[in-house]
Amino acid sequence: MREPPNIPAHLLRACLRDHYALDAAALDFLPLGLDTNAGVYRVVSADGDAYLLKVKAGPLYEPGCLVPRYLRGHGVAAAVAPLPTTSGALWTRTGERGEWAAILYPFIEGERGWQPLMTDAQWRATGAAVRHMHRIAPPAEGWPSIRSETFDPAAYGDEIRAFDARFAGAEGGDPAERALRDHWHEHQPTIHALQFALETLAPALRRQAGPYVICHADLHPSNIIRAPDGRLFVIDWDDVMLAPKERDFLFTGDPPAPGAPGAPPETAPPFFQGYGPAEIDWAALTYYRCERVVTDVIVCAQDATRRDDLSEETKADIARLFAAVLAPGNMMIAAAWAAAAHLSPALRGKVMDRR
């Protein structure tokens, strides 16, 4: 979030004091992340210890706190989990009406993001950590509110048709909406091709997708902190879900090609060298890579056209992000079509013909 949340600092300090027994000597907003409903702060206690405070508007997706805590309890040291309140809870509420969830984490120093690039050793370590996570079974009682993959792209199609109709022949609007509308028209065939791929692959995946595992579901370099001592930490579990393992392979490079014997060869991306042998469901991987682009497109369009609480500067950033998501040579779109090349002939023909 680029702009600080609309929460007075004294309420945040009171929250830290009352629920975490922490007196904040410093409370600094950090303009990090793309979630326009959340904000993060670096907190320094009177004792000099550093923490990260995250506040998020609206209902809290509880598995985002519960699952990383569970994984850490089962030996996944890379999973960054919330610190408990004085009552043992993993989150609390703050704001004038308790409208914000507040979650406290340890502050981890290190690199994150796409620059500098992750090293091969860091990717191998990430692959090993994800493999460990995928092998851990959920608790017998489960997590009642955790999302589970349905392979149902109908809601995406509804939103795309709604924006098709909104932008058809439209004029005016603020600068961000005009820019986004122009980009929508320019890249409309690509948007429709990606949605068509989802609708084509979904029925087959509902019938025969592989076993579901715990997936972070947003695994990319901005959510991987590389500490100076060589340790890796996976943050931001807001999208955690139960899904086929391919849900976590969006940004990891292409897995070894079908028929590769034994362990992944040294020419495989380092992530898969760390992850180890894995039979890839190329339909699931294609679906998820297409879905990622479609989701980004829809969220950007929604924020630019339906959010009156965002500044013009923030909306301009959103319009630029929308353009980058659909720009020629976009990494995720190229990765989606690369995965589609491994589909069965019948599915490959349907999906690739609409590119």
- DSSP character at residue 41: E
pLDDT tens readout for residues 121-136: 999 999 999 999 999 9
The Cα–Cα gap between 317 and 307 comes to: 14
Q: How many helices and strands (H and E) does the chain possess?
A: 10, 10
Q: How many domains does the chain have?
A: 2
> Looking at the structure, do residues 216 and 126 belong to the same domain, yes or no?
yes
The mean pLDDT of 128-154, rounded to a whole number, is: 97
Identify whether residues 87 and 29 lie together within a single domain: yes
Asked whether residue 263 carries a pLDDT value surpassing 50, the answer given is: no
pLDDT of residue 7: 92
118 by DSSP, 3-state: which? coil
β-strand pairing of 147-148 with 241-244: parallel
Mean pLDDT value across the chain = 93
- Contacts (Cβ under 8 Å, ≥6 apart) of 74: 136
Confidence band of 90 (pLDDT split at 50, 70, 90): very high
In whole angstroms, what separates CA 285 from the centre of its chain? Answer: 15
The answer on 178 and 126 residing in a single domain is yes
pLDDT bin (cut points 50, 70, 90) of residue 103 is very high
pLDDT band at 1 (very low <50, low <70, confident <90, very high): low
Same domain, 205 and 303: yes
Report d(CA 100, CA 98) in Å as an integer: 6
Question: Are residues 257 and 162 part of one domain?
Answer: yes
CATH code of the domain containing 177: 1.10.510.10
d(CA 55, CA 44): 16
Asked if residue 272 has pLDDT above 60, the reply is yes
Q: State which of 75, 107, 139 marks the end of a domain.
A: 107
Question: How far apart (Å, rounded) are the C-alpha atoms in residues 339 and 244?
Answer: 16
Count of beta carbons in the 10 Å neighbourhood of residue 78: 21
At residue 40, the 3 state secondary structure works out as strand
**In a domain? residue 190:** yes
Residue 259 — very low, low, confident or very high, per pLDDT cuts 50/70/90?
Answer: low
- 315 burial (CB, 10 Å; 0-12 / 13-18 / 19+) is buried
In this structure, is residue 314 part of a structural domain? yes
We report the CATH number of the domain holding residue 73 as: 3.30.200.20
Give yes or no: residues 130 and 275 share one domain: yes
Burial of 236 (0-12, 13-18, 19+ CB in 10 A): buried
- What pLDDT is stored for residue 34 in this prediction? 74
Domain boundary among 50, 81, 107: 107
**Which of 194-198, 229-233, 254-258, 304-308 has the weakest average pLDDT?**
254-258
| Structural domain boundaries enclosing 15 | 9-107
Q: Are strands 147-148 and 232-234 parallel, antiparallel or unpaired?
A: unpaired
The neighbour count for residue 5, using CB atoms within 10 Å, is 18
pLDDT band at 348 (very low <50, low <70, confident <90, very high): very high
What mean pLDDT is predicted for residues 47-54?
97
Cβ-count burial of 340 within 10 angstroms (0-12 exposed, 13-18 middle, 19+ buried)? buried
- In the predicted model, what is the mean pLDDT of residues 32-40? 85
Same domain, 176 and 324: yes
Rounded Cα distance between 92 and 274, Å, is 37
- Has residue 12 got a pLDDT over 70? yes
pLDDT tens-digit series, residues 276-299: 988 999 999 999 999 999 999 999
Q: Average pLDDT of 201-206?
A: 97
- Report pLDDT digits (tens) over 171-199: 888 899 999 999 999 999 999 999 999 99
At residue 35 the predicted structure's pLDDT band, cuts being 50, 70 and 90, is confident
Q: For 270-288, give the secondary structure using H, E and C.
A: HHHHHHCCCCCCHHHHHHH
Contacts of 239 (CB under 8 A, 6+ apart): 64, 216, 217, 218
> Same domain, yes or no, for 46 and 191?
no
Residues shown for the chain? 355
Structure tokens at 217: 């579901």
The mean per-residue pLDDT over the stretch 161-172 comes to 92
Give CA separation, 177 vs 45, 172, 285, 297, 320, in Å.
42, 8, 32, 13, 11
Output the pLDDT for position 265: 58
Q: Return the amino acid letter for 169.
A: G
CB atoms within 10 A of CB 260: 15
Percent residues over pLDDT 70 in the chain = 97
Last residue within a domain, chosen from 60, 82, 107: 107
Q: Given the structure tokens 């019948």, which residue do they identify? A: 346
Place 4 in a pLDDT band, splitting at 50, 70 and 90: confident
Residue 73 has pLDDT above 90, yes or no: yes
